[in-house]
A and B are shown apart, each in its own frame.
Chain A
Amino acid sequence: MKRALRDNGLSIGFGLLFLAALIGQAFAGQAAYNDRQLADAGAQVTLVQYVTSSDFAVDVAENWQSEYLQFFLYVFATVWLVQRGSPESKRVEETGTEPDREQKVGRFATADSPAWARAGGWRTAVFSRSLGAVMGVLFGLSWLAQSIAGRSANNAERLAQLQDPLTWLGYVGSADFWNRTLQNWQSEFLAIGSIAVISVYLRQRGSPESKPVGESHDTTETSG
């Protein structure tokens, strides 16, 4: 048990942080929503009503989609884009999908390689892109959820302001949808760019996101 906790500390730790933050968001979001309801002469809602509302769903989904977009782009972009000296990047001369030998696929697979890495053909082709593809699908689903829940929440606001509701296409082309979307995207892109560059020059002892403390600024793709 103790060993299982230690071996999965990262997923368990962040899973708990996620739940704590989501619960906190639910309470804070309910308070903010009820404040707006007072101004719009609407009814107050309970916590359960709020967490099943489109207002809560869109606030959650808009952040999820941007996080999955971040990882989707990061997984794909780092195949081709490098940052000399960054532990977040591979070496400059290794850009691209790399030879089968380095990737341990097909006849270069080892005894403990995943079955689909050994299989060759379409299975290896699919498995070779599965991480980015799943991130992309999760991004797409989250963004779709944002558009559906966002339309619902926005239409309720529009009716409260005595305006006509929007169709889904109308909402996807609206300022509200793109404001929610782009304000999340810009922060994700800034964070990726920042860690790629700052990690060239700064260190965090013991972190795999950092180079070893004494490693040269010029060394790329080394973690410690």
Chain B
Amino acid sequence: MRRWGGLACALAVCGGAVAGCGAGQRGDAAAAAAEAFVSALREGDGAAACAALATETAQGLAASEGAPCEEAIGALGLPDAAPSAVDVWSDRAQVRTRDDVLFLAEFEDGWKVVAAGCRPQGERPYECEVGA
């Protein structure tokens, strides 16, 4: 039973490590990806904004707007304030700006925005202009 005890302790420590450790660096990376997205919006650079989106999100936007992502994204008038808070859990992140909430996911080529222009709906999922 001592062997099991050691494993249980290790698991408790690992549980904490998985939940907490590494969140700082990964949070910075997620915030940087969100910053790349909103700064592209601020500068009116549709191509750069779409490059910061996850592939499926960009494709979904183009399909729903009936226009290339680069053109469609600027027409939405999405909020473009800088990130002020980031919350990372596993390969998902939520980034808050002064007037928006963005959701990101980590892919092989780094963090990408999967949803932006999001408004809370109580207990229900956020309603997002992009990536809903």
Contacts and interface: CB of A to CB of B under 8 A. Distances in A.
Interface of A: 11, 15, 41-43, 45, 52-55, 57-58, 60-61, 64, 68, 134, 137-138, 141-142, 144-146, 148-149, 151-153, 155-156, 158-165
B105 A42 contact: yes
Interface string B25-65: 00000000000000000000000000000101100000000
User: In the complex, which of the residues B5, B18, B106, B114 has the most CB atoms of chain A within 10 Å of its own CB atom?
Assistant: B18
Contact of A149 (B18, B91, B103, B128): B18
Contacts of B15: 54, 57-58, 61, 144-146, 148-149, 152
Contact of B106 (A43, A68, A137, A152): A43
Interface of B: 1, 3-5, 8-9, 11-12, 14-16, 18-19, 54, 56-57, 87, 89-94, 103, 105-108, 114-115, 118, 120, 124-126, 128, 132
A165 B27 CA distance: 14
A141 B12 contact: yes
Contact of A134 (B1, B18, B89, B103): B1
Given A53-B18, A152-B19, A162-B115, A138 B5 contact: yes
Q: Which 4 A-B pairs have the closest CB atoms?
A: A156-B90, A159-B92, A145-B15, A155-B89
User: In the complex, which of the residues A137, A145, A146, A156 has the most CB atoms of chain B within 10 Å of its own CB atom?
Assistant: A145
Contacts of A145: 8, 11-12, 14-16
A43 B109 CA distance: 10
Contacts, number: 108
A162 B90 contact: no
B56 A41 contact: yes
B126 A54 contact: no
User: In the complex, which of the residues A55, A153, A162 has the most CB atoms of chain B within 10 Å of its own CB atom?
Assistant: A162
Could you tell me the dominant secondary structure of chain A's interface residues? Answer: helix
A142 B8 contact: yes
A28 B31 CA distance: 33
A159 B11 contact: no
Contacts of B105: 41-43, 160
Contacts of B115: 162
A15 B1 CA distance: 11
Contacts of B93: 159
Given A137-B5, A151-B19, A162-B118, 9 more contacts: A42-B92, A57-B18, A148-B15, A148-B16, A152-B15, A159-B94, A160-B92, A163-B126, A165-B94
